[in-house]
Amino acid sequence: MFRNVAAISLHLIGPLQRKKAGTSLTRCLHQTLTMATRLQARRLDGIDHNPWVECTKMASEYDAVNLGQGFPDFPPPDFALQAFQLALSSDFMLNQYTKAFGYPPLTKILASFFGKLLGQEIDPLENVLVTVGAYGALFTAFQALVDEGDEVIIIEPFFDCYEPMTLMAGGHPVFVTLKPSPTQDGELDSASNWQLDPTELASKFTSRTKALILNTPNNPVGKVFSKAELELVANLCQQHDVICITDEVYQWLVYDGYQHTSIASLPGMWERTLTIGSAGKSFSATGWKVGWVLGPDSLVKHLRTVHQNSIYHCPTQGQAAVAQSFQHEQLHFGQPSSYFVQFPQAMQRCRDHMIRSLQSVGLKPVIPQGSYFFIADISDFKKKMPDLPGDEDEPYDRRFVKWMIKNKGLAAIPASIFYSRPHQKHFDHYIRFCFVKDESTLQAMDEKLQKWKEELRP
């Protein structure tokens, strides 16, 4: 139609005007067609908004103590820093490409280290893939194994990338919720009280279920799944021939005598499980962005196909530093000198400090069994000041976090972002804190809380 109109118009005018008009009409036609073209892929629909960006920006604008984002604000252990410095200065070939699926000394030590823990003979070439952080491992797994229309069971609250990664792969997320058990009056809740309903979980498995994603220790609640709970999940995965993608980046950060169990170590689960880990979380070096996935070749080979056609290769020097760090830990593993022993002990003290401090202003922390995080119940605030500024349909926890940043100088993350949209309104009375922080940060928090406490006095 556009071309017919252009031809008629050009026929009615002279040669010079026709040339100018033709150029103008062509440009107009091009702009019209360009504007009519959809720019973004449909797989991006509905996943463009990121509340992390908003919270981080506000924390910076109001000079708030940032207790929201999950990263340590203290250095990695000396042996890890020395390993990285050595990787930078020793062998100039570490500035070049290494093997596409992982720097050989790293894949070898990962196979050796985790093989003992999982009770498997792990082949460094077939059962290990090094990725750009655990995030990269997750994305690669979804792209490799989830197809159009496949269902993925997600246990909520969940790390917020699981849902968009499922959707981008063409999958359909199916949610099952951890539900807290009632507590005695005046008693703090514990992450161990947050349980799956076995009947509800079983009902989520259908003929279309391709995978279940497990996160233990869990972000944001800090729940460490018990062996009995893992056996429930394992039995259902085997019964329905479902893949388990298990995100275990916080496996070393377990407190109060609880034990982390990898579901891949249970009978019949190695063959259907991808176990994802993170050097950033293991060695307090989140900026290194070195992650990995362990599993049977029948699964990992498909991740390698995605990897070689997207990232292809991860930075060599970071991998060399992580390899050296694991070699150090292998020598000290299980001993008092082990970082994997010392680090959770230190973080438990930080956790306990933050829990005590937050209680002083009426926040009610849910005591975590593991991870960097805990959530705190803000129900009392919701009753006392229900009409905080915000959009009409904005969950209460998001409005509360903005109010706390602006008025109290403390930043947290609204817990509702870790839930599917239909369930957000049921869990908008929690906010998430990260306690893996330096002593100076905890002191700055205490100063803000002391001022808040004084404002509460009649």
| pLDDT tens column, 120-137 | 999 999 999 999 999 999
Domain ranges (residues) in the chain: 49-74+338-451, 78-177+186-332
- CA distance linking residue 455 with residue 25, whole number of Å: 67
pLDDT for 9: 45
For the chain, how many residues are written? 458
Q: Are strands 194-195 and 209-215 parallel, antiparallel or unpaired?
A: unpaired
Q: Is the pLDDT of residue 72 over 50?
A: yes
DSSP single-letter state for residue 192? G
Concatenate the DSSP letters of all residues of 311-326 into one string. T----HHHHHHHHHHH
Query: Helix count (H) and strand count (E) of the chain?
Result: 17, 15
Asked if 155 contacts 176 with a C-beta cutoff of 8 angstroms, the reply is: yes
Torsion over CA of 5, 6, 9 and 10, rounded to 10 degrees?
A: -150
**What CATH number does the domain located at 78-177+186-332 have?**
3.40.640.10
Q: Is the pLDDT of residue 254 over 70?
A: yes
Q: Give the count of beta carbons closer than 10 Å to the beta carbon of residue 383.
A: 9
Q: Say how far residue 394 (Cα) sits from the centre of its chain.
A: 23
Asked if 94 contacts 320 with a C-beta cutoff of 8 angstroms, the reply is: yes
- Residues 300-314 have pLDDT tens digits of 999 999 999 999 999
Global pTM reads: 0.90
Range scoring the smallest mean pLDDT among 7-16, 237-246, 374-383? 7-16
Concatenate the DSSP letters of all residues of 105-168 into one string. HHHHHHHHHHHHHHTS---TTTSEEEEEHHHHHHHHHHHHH--TT-EEEEEES--TTHHHHHHH
- Residues 130-186 have pLDDT tens digits of 999 999 999 999 999 999 999 999 999 999 999 999 999 999 999 999 999 888 777
pLDDT for 233: 98
> Which two structure tokens, joined as six digits, stand for 331?
């020598």
Q: Return the CATH number of 49-74+338-451, one of 2.60.40.420, 3.90.1150.10, 3.40.50.300, 3.40.47.10.
A: 3.90.1150.10
Position 348: which residue type?
Q
Name residues whose C-beta falls within 8 Å of residue 300's C-beta, 6 or more positions apart in sequence: 126, 127, 128, 129, 274, 293, 294
Q: Is the pLDDT of residue 318 over 90?
A: yes
78-177+186-332 shares the fold of 49-74+338-451: no
